[in-house]
Each structure stands twice: as structure tokens, then as C-alpha cells.
Amino acid sequence: MFLDRDGTLIEDRGYLSDPAGVEFFPETIPALQRLAGHFELFLVTNQAGIALGITPAEAVARVNDYVADVLARAGAPLRAVYCCPHSREDGCLCRKPSPHFLLKAAADHGIELARSFVVGDHPHDVQCGLNAKARGILVLTGHGSAHGDEVPPGGEVVQGIAEAAELILGRLG
């Protein structure tokens, strides 16, 4: 299970640099607790604020570490955190919709991408999953509500992370 951060698990506060600004959606932790019983959880986040000089890499790492710590203490640990520090203009290999980090996770952790899901609030999250032969789900939280009609063919749309968890767990039988 590959999860976007801002707008998917937590409120999107722009270029977040302080863990004190992290606000989880109320359904995030219960949904991830349920998913953790069936899936390895990974965080995959684009953080262009680093490349743009808005947010120091160390601050982004502190926020990611805080999110990971909260989830671990709640029984939904992240197996790994992957963070692209580049802007769209950098043309890097790791920025979603590139499947770079999914392929890395598959290689490093023995993940079967065809049995994996990518959940995020932007069409590039869905496309990232599809590019890796995984399934992509757009949540209508965060930026998702503005992009619900832009989901690539093969992607799915749900209200939020709780509905994404229900859909995914329903597919397990």
C-alpha cells in the first residue's frame, strides 16, 4: 500500500515544515490500522518545497518522521518513507507520476506491485500506481475534490482514506 501524505493522510497545509502543523484526517488512523493487517504501508510524497527553497529538507524529514511515529504508535507502521525533493521543472526520475519509488520498494522489500495500491489526492498519484502496474485510487480530500474528473482510465475515485480502505479490503474477499 503506497500512500500520499498531504491531502490524503493529513490536511494539506502547503509547504509543511513543522510537525506541530500535522493534522491527521479523523479516519486516517483507523483506516490504516485495518490496512496494516493485510499490507505493508509505504509513504510516497512529492515535496517540491525543498527544491524551491521554501522548506528545508530537514524540516520535511521531521514532518515525515512525525507522521511515521504517530502511525507506528497506532499500530500502522510505515515500512519506508520515500520523498521526492524535486520540483516539477527538475525533470527527475523520482517525482510522481514516475513509478520510481514503487519500483524501488518492490526491489528492496519484495513487494508485488500487481497486488499493490497507490492512494492519493492527485491524478499523478493514480498515474504513478498505473505506471507501476498497481492500482490507483484518488481520494476527494485535499486536492482530490478539484481533480475528480481528471483520473486516468483504470483509476478509481473515493471520498477519503476510509472509503479507500473499504474498497481495498473488499477486494481481498
Which are the catalytic amino acids? 4, 6
Under 8 Å between Cβ of 94 and 46: no
Under 8 Å between Cβ of 57 and 84: no
State the DSSP H helix or E strand holding residue 102, giving kind and residue range, or none if neither: helix 100-109
Whether the bond into 153 is cis, omega within 30 of 0: no
- Give the residue among 109, 116, 53, 49 at the shortest CA–CA distance from 81: 109
Alpha-carbon span 81 to 85, nearest angstrom: 13
Alpha-carbon span 170 to 173, nearest angstrom: 6
